[in-house]
Amino acid sequence: MSMLESVPTPNRRLRRGRRNATLRRMVRETQLTVDNLIAPLFIVEGQNIRKPISSMPGQFQLSLDQLGTEIDELVAAQIPAVLLFGIPLHKDAQGSSAWDANGPVPSAIRAIKQQAPHLVVIADVCMCEYTDHGHCGILTSGEPETITVDNDPTLELLARASVAYAEAGADVVAPSAMMDGQIAAIRYGLDQAGYHDTIILSYAAKFASAFYGPFREAAESTPQFGDRRSYQMDAANAREAIAETALDVAEGADWLMVKPAGAYLDIIRAVYEEFDLPLAAYQVSGEYAMIKAAAANGWIDEQRVALESLLAIRRAGASMIITYYAKAAAQWLKA
């Protein structure tokens, strides 16, 4: 006699809906599609540059004359949007190349819009790639250990850069400097310049994360001293993330973002539940690099892990996912 003979059999068997791929597809709660993907691109000044980023296999710094092939591939993959970062030849204390009409980002925006008018172009707005000190705005004076970014004077620079990108044809500007009041300043600058329809995608909850390491190589934006913890968020703070987001919503943000994504799924879910604006999440360089490294060592199935990580971000509530896996994921999702 079986020791379980007297145990009643379950009436509800959820495994019934998992028996084959078609059934699983029919009851799937969360869908990940190419429409959810945004591809980041790094634009450098110069010619004939397609420089591999060593800590991010498969990613490159691209000069303008190399950008066209990449755009063709993204359009063919039906990826709806790109996020642009610029690496200028000239850097100074204010980051003045950020609003140079002939700088890397405005030039790339014009080229993309001529080649692929329907591709949505998002321009990251920050000073760190453009300043010679690697921080996200104008610095305060004082002793080295007390120097930080001077918030209010930096707002004008962010607004100037945003207007320059809008003038070049950007659909969306995405301020990532984490300065208090940056959304209001940028919205005012855009409206004064006549760009009322330019969307502001706010990096509303951007954490001071160790996961950004490889990006510093990609964007050549490593701080020359200190770090960014005095203006980016503490990883321990969830309620503060809601407060930061609420301020950006009040200032006129159109879309919201949480960055990073994988270690902050709880923040994505909290922002999704609290606010009714479109929500993005950024699967950052360190997240990508870890999957790549583990896959290169044969420890994981890269395709399955990458898609699962993206699905988790989508399940948490993000409808837009900025990811270095955009092009590969688009191909995998077609299979």
6 is in an annotated binding site: no
Please write the tens of the pLDDT for every residue from 96-108: 899 999 999 999 9
Residue-wise burial string across 95-105, b where 16 or more C-beta atoms lie within 10 A, e elsewhere: bbbbbbeebbb
228 is in an annotated binding site: yes
Please report the pLDDT score of residue 154 as a whole number: 94
Residue 203 structure tokens: 């990096």
- What are the residue numbers of the active site? 206, 259
Please write the tens of the pLDDT for every residue from 42-68: 999 999 999 999 999 999 999 999 999
Q: What is the pTM of this model?
A: 0.94
Mean pLDDT, residues 8-15: 87
Stronger pLDDT, 139 or 33, i.e. the higher one: 33
* Confidence bin at 1 (pLDDT 50/70/90): low
216 is in an annotated binding site: yes
User: Is the predicted pLDDT of residue 158 greater than 70, yes or no?
Assistant: yes
Please report the pLDDT score of residue 34 as a whole number: 98
| CA 247 to chain centroid | 20
Please report the pLDDT score of residue 3 as a whole number: 72
User: Is the predicted pLDDT of residue 172 greater than 80, yes or no?
Assistant: yes
73 is in an annotated binding site: no
DSSP letters along 115-174, please?
H-TTSEEEEEE-STTTBTT-SSSPBPPS-GGG--B-HHHHHHHHHHHHHHHHHHT-SEEE
Q: For residue 207, what is the DSSP state?
A: B
Residues 330 and 78: beta-carbon distance below 8 Å: yes
User: Is the predicted pLDDT of residue 130 greater than 60, yes or no?
Assistant: yes
| CA 310 to chain centroid | 13
Query: What residue segments make up the domains of the chain, in order of their start?
Result: 31-334
* Confidence bin at 303 (pLDDT 50/70/90): very high
Please write the tens of the pLDDT for every residue from 82-96: 999 999 998 888 888
126 is in an annotated binding site: yes
Please report the pLDDT score of residue 196 as a whole number: 98
What's the CATH fold of domain 31-334? TIM Barrel (3.20.20)
**Cβ neighbour number for residue 8 with a 10 Å cutoff:** 6
136 is in an annotated binding site: yes
CA distance 133 to 95: 9
Residues 183 and 257: beta-carbon distance below 8 Å: no
* Confidence bin at 226 (pLDDT 50/70/90): low
Please report the pLDDT score of residue 135 as a whole number: 80
Residues 27 and 17: beta-carbon distance below 8 Å: yes
Mean pLDDT, residues 254-280: 98
Please report the pLDDT score of residue 114 as a whole number: 98
Please report the pLDDT score of residue 285 as a whole number: 96
12 is in an annotated binding site: no
User: Is the predicted pLDDT of residue 165 greater than 80, yes or no?
Assistant: yes
Give the whole-number percent of the chain exceeding pLDDT 90. 80
128 is in an annotated binding site: yes
Mean pLDDT, residues 161-168: 98
Q: What CA–CA distances, in Å, run from 3 to 7, 11, 213, 223, 309? A: 9, 20, 56, 66, 41
Mean pLDDT, residues 248-258: 98
